[in-house]
Structure 1
Amino acid sequence: MNYLRMIATTRRHPCAVLLGIQLLGILAYPFAESTPAGQMALAALGVVVLLVTVRMVRRTPGLTWVSIGLAIPIMVLLALQGAADMPQLLPWSSALEAVFYFYATGSLIAYMLADRKATLDELFAVGATFTLLAWAFTHLFVLTQALQPGCFLAAVNPQAPRSWSELMYLSFALLSSTGIGDVIPV
C-alpha cells in the first residue's frame, strides 16, 4: 500500500521528483565522473533527468512536443558519445541540452505563474527551476569549453579542461551570486 501511495505522490508532485533526481546527480557527479563506469551511470542519470523533465513539462503551459523533439536527439547524441566513442558530438549535445533545460525552465516559470494559488508542487518547482537553470548554464559552459579550449581556468591544473562538476559549481556560484570560486572564465 505504501508503494501505491508513493506512486500517487510522485504523480501529484513531479517537480519534487525532478528536484530530487537533480540533487542526487549534483551530489553523485564529483564521485563518479572520474571512472568510465561512473560516467556511464551519470549518462543514464542524465537520460532519467531528461525523461522526468519531459513528464514535468506536460503539466505546464509548455508544449510537450517541443520538449520531446529536443529530448530525442539529445538521447541519440548521448548514446553515440558513450557507446560509439564519439566525443566530437559533445558540443552538439551540450547545445541541445542547454536549449532543452532553458525551455523547461521557462515552462516551469509559466506553470508557477499560471494562477494565484501556490501549491506544494509549485514550491518544489522553485527549486527545480533553479537547478534546471544551473544545468542549462553548465551545458553552455561545456559547449564554450569544447569550442574554445582553455576558456576556463582553475587554481589546480589551470590549463586542463574543467570537469562537469567544476563547471556546475561555477554555474551555481554565478546564479546564486556567491562569487566565482576556483574556476574562472578567461
Structure 2
Amino acid sequence: MESSSMNLWPSFAGPLRPLTRRQRWVRNVRETPSAVLLFVQIALLFVYPYMETAALGHYARALIGAAALVVIFLAVRVARATPALTWVAALLGGPVVVLTIAEAIWQDVVPLAFSSAVLHALFYFYIAYALIRYMFADNWVTRDELFATGATFTVVVWAYAYVYQTVQFVWPNSFTVHGGELPGTRSWFELLYLSVTTMTNTGLSDIVAVTPHVRSFVMLQMLSGILYVALVVARLVGLTIMRFNR
C-alpha cells in the first residue's frame, strides 16, 4: 500500500543536467566572494608597477582603485553582512569611490588627496572588521572563510598603506629610502611595499620611517600582524583540525 501511494505521487523533477563550465565558474564566484577579493588584490600587486611608470599612471591607478573598491563592497555584502554593516559600508564606500574618481580629474589637490586617503583607510579597516566578524560568526569553517583569512590580511595591508599616505600629509618627510636618499614623499606603491613587509614582519623594506609619529603606526601594524596570526588564523586552524577529527 505504501509503495502504491508513493508511485501515485506526481513527479515534477526532471533529469538533472550537468552544469556547464561557465555555470560552475559563476557559482564558484558567488559562493566564494572572499576569494575574488583576495585574487583581485594579489593581481593589483603586479599591475601597480606598470601604473607607476606609465604616462597616464595616475588615471589608471584611480580606475583600478575604484574597481577594487566595488569588488570589496560586493564581497562584504555577500559575506553575511548585517543591516548595520550594509549602511556603514555604503556610508564609507560611496564617498571613497567618488574621491577616487575625483583624484583622477583634479590632480595634485592636497585637501582632496588627504580626504581620499583618510576615507580609504577607514573603509578598508571596516572591511577587515566585517570579514573578521564573518569568520567568527560560527564554529564551522567553510571554503569561503578560508579565503577570507587571506583577504582580511591583504585588506589590512591596504588600510595601513593609506594610513602611511595620510601621515605624509600631516607630517611631511616621514619616510626615507635606505642608502642615503633624503626624506621625501613616497609613492603609493612604495607605501604598499612598506605595509606588506611590516605586516609580515619580514623587515625587508628599504623604506624607513624617520619621524616618531609614523613609527608609532609602523609598530601598531607589526602588532596587528602578530595578533592576527595568533587570534584569527590560529582559531580557524583549530576549527579545521577539529572538523577533520570529528
Percentage identity across aligned positions? Answer: 37
Q: Distance in 2 between matches of 1:122 and 1:181?
A: 30
Written as runs of structure 1 = structure 2, the 5 A alignment for 1:146-157 is 146-155=169-178, 157=181
**Which amino acid is the alignment partner of residue 75 of structure 1?**
V
Tell me which of the two structures has the higher relative contact order, counting C-alpha pairs closer than 8 angstroms and 6 or more residues apart.
Answer: 1
Q: Distance in 1 between matches of 2:50 and 2:178?
A: 20
Written as runs of structure 1 = structure 2, the 5 A alignment for 1:28-43 is 28-43=47-62
**1:60 counterpart (80, 85, 108):** 80
**Which amino acid is the alignment partner of residue 60 of structure 1?**
R
Written as runs of structure 1 = structure 2, the 5 A alignment for 1:1-186 is 1-58=20-77, 59-61=79-81, 63-88=85-110, 89-155=112-178, 157-179=181-203, 181-186=205-210
* Unmatched 5+ stretches in structure 2: 1-19, 211-246
What root-mean-square deviation, in Å, do the aligned CA atoms of Structure 1 and Structure 2 show?
1.6
**Which amino acid is the alignment partner of residue 27 of structure 1?**
F
Alpha carbons of structure 1 residues 160 and 34: separation in structure 2 relative to 1, 3 Å:
farther
Alpha carbons of structure 1 residues 124 and 45: separation in structure 2 relative to 1, 3 Å:
same
TM-score normalized by the length of structure 2: 0.71
Paired residues of 2:66 and 2:101 also in contact (CA < 8 A)? no
User: What's the secondary structure of 1:158's corresponding residue?
Assistant: coil
TM-score normalized by the length of structure 1: 0.93
Q: How many pairs are equivalent?
A: 186
- Please identify, of 93-102 and 142-151, the stretch whose mean Cα deviation from structure 2 is larger: 142-151
Per-residue CA deviation, residues 135-174 of structure 1 (Å, 9 max, x unaligned), is: 0000000011122221011136433311111111111111
Q: Distance in 2 between matches of 1:95 and 1:85?
A: 17
**Which amino acid is the alignment partner of residue 81 of structure 1?**
E
- Please identify, of 176-185 and 116-125, the stretch whose mean Cα deviation from structure 2 is larger: 176-185
Q: Distance in 2 between matches of 1:4 and 1:38?
A: 36
Q: Distance in 1 between matches of 2:25 and 2:52?
A: 30
